[in-house]
Amino acid sequence: MAMTTTANPAAITTALREDLSDIITNISPTDTVFMSNIGKAPVKGIYTEWLVDSLTTAANCAVTEGNVAVPTDGHAQTRTGNYTQIAAKWISVSDTIEAVDKAGRKSEMAYQSGLMLKELARDMEYGLINNSTSTSGATRSACGLKGFITTNDTSFTTGTSITTLTETLFNDVIEACWTAGGNPTMVLANSYHKRQISAFTGNSKIVTNMDAEQKKIILSVDYYESDFGVIKVYASRFIAEDSSDYRTVYILDKEKFQLGVLQGLKTEKLAKTGLGQIIQMSTEYTLISRNELASGAIKNCASIAAH
């Protein structure tokens, strides 16, 4: 006689154990390529300044034999600066949440602090690239790349048919930076423009990640060798839109930028006021742009194929 069974009798469901993995998956991007590639410098006030100087245009300097001395005024430097910006994150964790057994972590405070550190770094990277002005007041804002680079600044007119990043224009901006005295070594581009640069067909293109033994065809360009030096091309996730579907490609002399630090990163447990703990993570910083002439930007490049 055949036996009939029920796969999951309702009467025993209360005895079943839950199956919750201890692996927590988080794919939110955290790479901060600009901030990670520039140096750091201490600053001592909420508005930090620096001096920019330049030489006169090179020319034939021949003078008449026995010529009387003709003195000229000394060089006058240009004074520029930037306000510091405070960045902070707070998280509250109850004593109960810290004490109970949790999936994927032992300490809720340690886990949340790690997430906040990554979020803080991403926020800083976004501002260092995209902030266009330096503002004073209680909520100070530090100017970023977008605001500093004004001379070697090429901008498409949005809404027209010609808004495509080209190899010629790319090289024109590199040349402008070099002519001004800079030595660009870094490009920041979003994913679409990174692919466009990889598709450049000029003789100056070199691919550094060849893998002949594995017989792989590798289309990406990590380094671009122009007539004015080798530039490393970075895909940046945090370049904001100039306007809908248009973004900027930055060509940078990274040695001319520094992260100015007024208050280093601090993680603090604030005074308890109840049955929990508030964690504060903060820093105060600015962007130092030693000389914007050394870098360039191509603004309002179409960032999707539809353009």
Q: Which of 221, 228, 204 is nearest to 296 (CA)?
A: 228
Kindly state the tokens that stand for 279: 């964690």
* SS3 track for 19-38: CCCCCCCCCCCCCCHHHHHC
For the chain, give every domain's residue range: 33-49+78-302
What is the radius of gyration, based on Cα positions, of the chain?
A: 27
Q: What are phi and psi of 78, to 5 degrees?
A: -100, 130
Alpha-carbon distance of 246 to 189, in angstroms, equals: 12
Q: Where are the alpha helices (DSSP H) in 57-190?
A: 95-99, 108-130, 145-148, 167-179
Kindly state the tokens that stand for 67: 């010529």
What lies within 8 Å, CB to CB, of 21 at 6+ separation is 103, 104
Alpha-carbon distance of 239 to 189, in angstroms, equals: 7
Alpha-carbon distance of 192 to 199, in angstroms, equals: 11
Neighbours of 159 (CB within 10 A): 11
Reading the chain (307 residues) residue by residue, the pLDDT tens digits are: 555 555 556 666 665 566 656 565 555 556 889 999 999 999 999 999 988 887 777 888 888 888 888 888 877 888 899 999 999 999 998 888 888 887 888 888 888 888 888 899 999 999 999 999 999 988 999 999 999 999 999 999 877 778 899 999 999 999 999 999 999 999 999 999 999 998 887 755 555 555 555 555 444 568 898 999 999 999 999 999 988 889 999 999 999 999 999 999 998 899 988 999 999 999 999 999 999 999 999 999 998 754 4
**CB 300, CB 119: distance < 8 Å:** no
Alpha-carbon distance of 84 to 235, in angstroms, equals: 27
Query: What one-character DSSP code corresponds to residue 10?
Result: G
Kindly state the tokens that stand for 165: 């990043």
pLDDT score for 69: 85
Tell me how far apart the terminal alpha carbons of the chain are, to the nearest angstrom: 72
Q: Where are the alpha helices (DSSP H) in 1-105?
A: 33-37, 95-99
Query: What one-character DSSP code corresponds to residue 65?
Result: T
Residue reference for tokens 């490049």:
301
Q: Which of 266, 258, 271 is nearest to 284 (CA)?
A: 266
Alpha-carbon distance of 266 to 28, in angstroms, equals: 23
Tell me the β-bridge partners of 91. Answer: 279
Alpha-carbon distance of 246 to 129, in angstroms, equals: 15
Q: How many residues does the chain have?
A: 307
pLDDT score for 63: 83
What lies within 8 Å, CB to CB, of 157 at 6+ separation is 163, 300
What are the CA-CA distances from residue 159 to residues 162, 173, 243 (Å)? 9, 22, 10
Alpha-carbon distance of 306 to 177, in angstroms, equals: 30
pLDDT score for 207: 52
Domain 33-49+78-302 -> CATH class = alpha beta
**CB 86, CB 282: distance < 8 Å:** yes
**CB 238, CB 130: distance < 8 Å:** yes
